[in-house]
Amino acid sequence: MSRSLFAPLVIRGRELLPIVQGGMGVGISAKQLAGAVARAGGLGTVASVDLRHLHDDLMADAANQHGQEGINRLNLIALDREIKGALARAEGHGMVAVNVMKAVDNHAALVRQACESGAHAVVMGAGLPLDLPEMTASHPDVALIPILSESRGIGIVLKRWMKKGRLPDAIVIEHPNHAGGHLGAARIADVGDSKFDFARVLEESFALFKDLGLERERVPLIVAGGVNSHEKVQTYLNGYGASAVQIGTAFAVTSDGDAHINFKRTLAGASRDDIAEFMSVAGLPARGVLTPFLKSYLKREDKLQANAKADPARCTQALNCLTVCGLRDGLAKVGQFCIDLKLAAAFRGEVSKGLFFRGADPLPFGDAIRSASETMHYFLTGEKPLDLQPV
């Protein structure tokens, strides 16, 4: 990565290109993608959820496991492998983070494993990460980066953490109206609320910093969701005062992405009409591609929700992977499917069966698939590759 038109993102004394790769699971951002982004000088992110699917030996072992404890152990082994693989690929450049969802039942164990395996940072969303400092207390050099969507949540985290003598090393501000995957809003109808607008959240956050006696640069703010052009990067960094941008879908479809080529083609080829918002099993709105599975599910959603009932046997893999699960817990207003099965199918490129999370906006290279470094180069300089051919 030769040049950038923007100031570096500084985390824990490390100067990075102001590009953060979002965590995407199951298996979409693992050692290959995270390592490639870090090697190019950015912050690459391994998504920690159910990484056993990337390892044939662990999947074979999983067939002999009975209950959640054994599966969790295999996923910790897989996380260790993926972090170390990403660090090796990075060759000492950039930073390697691990994304852990607060909504995942074994999130504390995943955080511990991330620290013990040498990750430079832990990124946590899908819930307020109020106890993240305690989880990482024995690893004070690991950077802590919460994901939030509006200034009220930022204020709650800052004030609670400051009482513990800790500040976030950065904060990701994710806009629910543009991001992919699970969205930081209570209802689908709320995703477009103006309280999530980047200009407003940044302005309110800087005012909050001042009230708390914090220098503006002390906690870098990273905007996420809908970042699909060099011009937007210019606006957010040079216009609004953000320190960096987080990018998900545009990295998921790169040649460095860890998922099957069918996954990349499905995301890259989706128009806005092919993308829908729906309630996920975790009780949060979500956004993904209208694949045959999702189309069929949405047609049956009302009936499935009407028949929702709390029954552990409905957990098809006995994973109990989420703290709250609409299918297992019988929550009638949220999703009624096994998210682990559907995300794993997407990772394998099974278009008819999978749940393909995606952001709402067009991709910078259309349906062409290029490398992570070329993608970063475009976002930082505005220069696109000349030979953009679909793959």
- CATH classification at residue 171: 3.20.20.70
Q: For residue 391, what pLDDT is reported?
A: 52
358 domain-assigned: no
Are residues 331 and 235 part of one domain?
no
On the 0-12 / 13-18 / 19+ scale of CB atoms within 10 A, 333 is exposed
pLDDT of residue 4: 66
Distance CA 356, CA 264 (A): 10
Q: Mean of the pLDDT values across residues 290-315?
A: 90
What is the average pLDDT value for the chain, to the nearest integer? 92
Please report, rounded to a whole number, the percentage of residues in the chain having pLDDT higher than 90.
76
* pLDDT above 90 for 322: no
Q: How many CB atoms lie within 10 A of CB 260?
A: 19
Same domain? 37 vs 172: yes
Examine the domain organization and report whether 102 and 229 are in the same domain.
yes
Does residue 237 lie within any of the structural domains?
Answer: yes
pLDDT digits (tens, 9 = 90+) for 182-214: 898 888 999 999 999 999 999 999 999 999 999
**Helix residue spans in the chain (DSSP H):** 31-39, 56-62, 68-90, 107-116, 132-135, 151-163, 198-211, 230-234, 249-252, 261-268, 292-306, 326-329, 339-347, 372-381
Residues 161 and 56 in one domain: yes
Count of the separate structural domains present in the chain? 2
Q: What is the pLDDT of residue 184?
A: 87
Express as a percent the part of the chain with pLDDT over 70. 96
At 221-230, the pLDDT tens digits run 999 999 999 9
In this structure, what are the phi and psi dihedrals at residue 124, rounded to the nearest 5 degrees? -130, 130
| Residue 317 within a domain | yes
Per-residue CA distances from 160 to 115, 156, 203, 360 (Å): 22, 6, 21, 33
Bridge partners, residue 100, by sequence? 124
Q: Could you list the residue range(s) of the whole structural domain that residue 334 is in?
A: 272-347
Q: State the angle between helix axes of 151-163 and 198-211 in degrees (0 to 180), rounded to the nearest 10.
A: 30
302 — pLDDT class (breaks 50, 70, 90) = very high
Same domain, 217 and 309: no
Residues 175 and 29 in one domain: yes
pLDDT band at 66 (very low <50, low <70, confident <90, very high): low
Do residues 89 and 212 both lie within one domain?
yes
The predicted pLDDT at position 282 comes to 82
- Asked if 222 and 95 sit in the same domain, the reply is yes
* pLDDT of res. 314: 73
What per-residue confidence (pLDDT) applies to 105?
83
Tell whether 354 is covered by a domain.
no
Beta bridge partners of 279: 285
The more confidently predicted of residues 122 and 59 is: 122
217 and 122 within one domain: yes
CB 349 within 8 A of CB 260: yes
Q: 86 near 108, Cβ under 8 Å?
A: no
Same domain? 125 vs 70 = yes
For 91-124, the pLDDT digits (tens) are 999 999 999 988 888 899 999 999 999 999 999 9
Q: What is the pLDDT, as a whole number, of residue 231?
A: 96
3-state secondary structure of 345: helix
Residue 146 has pLDDT above 50, yes or no: yes
Q: What mean pLDDT comes out for the span 357-374?
A: 95
pLDDT, residue 2, reads: 45
Report the distance separating Cα 251 and Cα 50, nearest Å.
20
Beta-bridge partner residues of 182: 286
Is there a single domain that holds both residue 116 and residue 42? yes
Do residue 184 and residue 85 come from a single domain?
yes
| Rg of the chain over all Cα atoms, to the nearest angstrom | 20
- pLDDT the model gives residue 3: 58
Asked if the structure places residue 341 within a domain, the reply is: yes
